[in-house]
Copies of this chain bind each other. A is one copy, B any other.
Amino acid sequence: MRLRVNVLGIESGGKPIVFLNKQDADEIGVTASARVRINSKRNELTAIVNIAPKYLKKGFIGVSEEASRALSLKRNSLVDIEVATFPKSLQFIRHKLNGKRLLYNEIHEIVKDVVQGNLNEGEISAFVTALHIQGLDLDEATSLSSSMVETGKQLKLGKKIIVDKHSIGGVPGDKTTLLVVPIVAAAGLIIPKASSRAITSAAGTADRAETLMPVDLGIEEMQSVVKRCNGCIVWGGSLELAPADDIFVRTEYSLSIDPLLLPSIMSKKKAVGATHLVVDIPTGRGAKIKSIGEADLLAKDIIELGRRLGIHSHCVLTYGEQPVGFTLGASLEAREALGVLMNKTNVPDLVDKACHLAGAVFEMVGKKNGYALAREILHSGKAEKKLREIISFQGGNPAVKTSDLVIGEDVFHLRARKAGEVLWIDNSALVEIARAAGAPKDKGAGLVLHKKIGDKVSNNDLLVTICAEKSRKLSRAQEILSEQEPIGVGDRREMFIHKVKEAPVVRRAFVLDR
């Protein structure tokens, strides 16, 4: 059927969609959510159907921005429409639903159709769900990683050794990357770091870095920054390194499942050309990985997956029972990291973690005494100098001071109601409070911890300061505080953890950021 194009200026988040008049849809034989094949003079495309009875006249087809771009369609041009056959990849998704292992070419077909918008939301979700329930083995993880690289853009630096660092996430306040990248780059190694924004956390590395410099770089800009100063800290989302993953992650987020964790990480490392990779696995009751045994198993898989993709990988297990450093929230965390680089602020756990990770990178490429080398680069001010170079090349102000980082002025102080010792810190409660206060959207929102695990506390001592840009959001954070205790103060002999009552309200404490 030949229809006239009406570009609607609707963006539907990646996949191309079209709107058909009810009569036309019946004539073609499709209903909402079905697929049609659109043939323009230049190109063809499969798109998902929506029905628009009144809005769109018979004989017209409304196309989304995505569909219009893909086919270079103009208003009133003519296109031919027919029912699309079911994509071959659907057959492979069904195989996985029925417990079969998928081969490389089958996975590649699925990933390609995800990126091209040939699979609808429900079908993609079925695939992710099946991966979660049936599991995926290392062959499948390798295929997924490779396919996600092949269907995305790649950074071509033409260097023999390119290092990278990654945290599987799950511990709040983790601003370690802001230290590791300049330490490693200052030692002359190439580290093209792409980071994510917060999805379920209070701040991602991209959010933190953005308070210091633009992070929204294209792949050519990223390449030019790295060539000039060995490193960068940019947002991975605008690079299109693994566009399939950006689509999978939406489903994973709403279902609180994470079966694509490893392929997601490794595909992005492969896409920037990493040859040596250190992966941080924060481990602890409040982190994504709860026990050391679990962390070791994951490490084994990461190393093996790396081997298959041609990336030498080491893992570093780190203590994840409480936040890293004293702050949560983009500006607060950037300020803390900058203070440490300038040797103005003393944050022992942050420094220890950064030097272990940078040190592991150094030792992988053959440098001796990695930890000491990292510490020396940090203390000498070379790392600070390198960060200011990166800030400058990415378009920020290289003379930035800690006081330039603006913190929300609506504050609330949480004080201890008894004396004792900090026995535990509830990571997810802290994240929930920081997010209620405005993080990650409000860069100046977040919180400052005044005590950490093991610290002595007197009655009425300051425990946490919550900062917000808007008083309305501060109130929301206070509400959460009235229901939850984020820091446990007590005596080591106290046995009580918490009660579980009838109809328990199970909290959403899912960590997706990776």
Contact at A12–B133, with CB atoms within 8 Å?
no
Which stretch, A29-37, A174-182, A307-315, A328-336, touches the partner chain B? Answer: A29-37
Interface digits, A49-67 against B, CB 8 Å rule (1 contact, 0 not)? 0111111100000000100
Q: Are B94 and A52 in contact (CB under 8 A)?
A: no
Q: A122 CA to B506 CA in the complex, in Å?
A: 22
Contact B132 A97 (CB under 8 A): yes
Q: CB within 8 A of A120: which of B8, B9, B52, B254?
A: B254
The stretch of A123-131, A351-359, A385-393, A421-429 in contact with B is A123-131
Q: What class of interface size applies to chain A in its complex with B?
A: 35 or more
Instruction: Tell whether A235 is near chain B: CB-to-CB under 8 Å.
Output: no
Which B residue's beta carbon lies closest to that of A22? B11
The segment out of A85-93, A163-171, A225-233 that lies at the interface is A85-93
Which of B10, B126, B133, B250 contacts A251, CB < 8 Å?
A: B126
A33-B121, A255-B97 known; A53+B9 contact, CB < 8 A: yes
A85 to B: closest C-beta gap in Å: 9
Interface mask (A349-377 → B, CB under 8 Å = 1, otherwise 0) = 00000000000000000000000000000
Among A9, A11, A14, A91: residue with most chain B CB under 10 A: A11
A120 engages B123 (CB within 8 Å) = no
Q: Does A69 contact B (CB under 8 A)?
A: no
Verify A10–B52 contact, CB threshold 8 A.
yes
Instruction: Tell me the complex Cα distance, A402–B97, Å.
Output: 46
Q: Is the CB of B52 within 8 A of A9?
A: yes
Q: Is the pair A54, B123 in contact by a Cβ cutoff of 8 Å?
A: no
Complex Cα spacing A94 to B252, Å: 11
Interface contact A13-B50, CB-CB below 8 Å: yes
Chain B residues, Cβ within 8 Å of A65: 53-54
Residues of B contacting A124 in the complex (Cβ-Cβ under 8 angstroms): 122
- Tell yes or no: A508 within 8 A of B by CB: yes
Determine if A255 and B94 form an interchain contact, defined as CB atoms under 8 angstroms apart.
yes
Tell me the complex Cα distance, A122–B65, Å: 22
Q: Is the CB of A52 within 8 A of B11?
A: yes
Task: Give the residue name and chain of the B residue nearest to A251 (CB).
Answer: B122
In the complex, A224 has a CB within 8 A of chain B: no
Q: Is the CB of A13 within 8 A of B29?
A: no
Residue among A123, A125, A128 with most chain B CB within 10 A: A125
Contacting residues, chain B, for A13 (C-beta < 8 A): 31-33, 50-51
Q: Are A50 and B123 in contact (CB under 8 A)?
A: no
In whole angstroms, how far apart are the Cα atoms of A122 and B119 in the complex? 11
Q: CB of A19 within 8 A of chain B? A: yes
Chain B positions within 8 Å of A257 at CB level: 94, 97
**Does B123 contact A126, Cβ atoms closer than 8 Å?**
no
In the complex, chain A residues 65-102 whose Cβ is within 8 Å of any chain B Cβ = 65, 86, 90-91, 93-94, 97, 99
A441 contacts chain B at the CB level, 8 A cutoff: yes
Q: Is the CB of A250 within 8 A of B33?
A: yes
Contact with B along A237-275 (1 / 0, CB 8 A): 000000000000011001111000000000000000000
Cβ-based interface call for A134 (8 A)? yes
Interface residues of A in 462-514 (CB under 8 A from B): 506, 508
Please give the distance in Å from A112's CB to the nearest CB on chain B. 17
State which of B8, B26, B32, B97 has its C-beta within 8 Å of the C-beta of A55. B8
Q: In the complex, what distance in Å separates the CA atom of A91 from the CA atom of B122?
A: 18
**Known: A12-B32, A33-B13. Is A120-B120 also a contact (CB below 8 A)?**
no
On chain B, the residues within 8 Å of A99 by CB distance are: 133
Question: In the complex, what's the smallest C-beta–C-beta distance from A439 to chain B, in angstroms?
Answer: 11
Smallest CB–CB gap between A10 and chain B, Å? 5
1/0 contact string of A19-52 vs chain B (CB within 8 Å):
1001000100101110000000000000000111
- 14 A-B contacts (beta carbon < 8 Å): A9-B52, A13-B31, A14-B32, A33-B250, A90-B254, A90-B255, A97-B257, A99-B133, A122-B125, A122-B254, A122-B255, A125-B126, A126-B129, A126-B251
List 7 additional A-B contacts (Cβ < 8 Å) besides A10-B52, A122-B250. Answer: A11-B50, A11-B53, A13-B50, A54-B65, A94-B255, A120-B121, A120-B254
Show the binding face of A for B, using Cβ within 8 Å. 8-14, 19, 22, 26, 29, 31-33, 50-56, 65, 86, 90-91, 93-94, 97, 99, 120-126, 128-130, 132-134, 250-251, 254-257, 441, 506, 508
> Top 3 closest A-B pairs, CB basis?
A13-B32, A9-B55, A9-B54
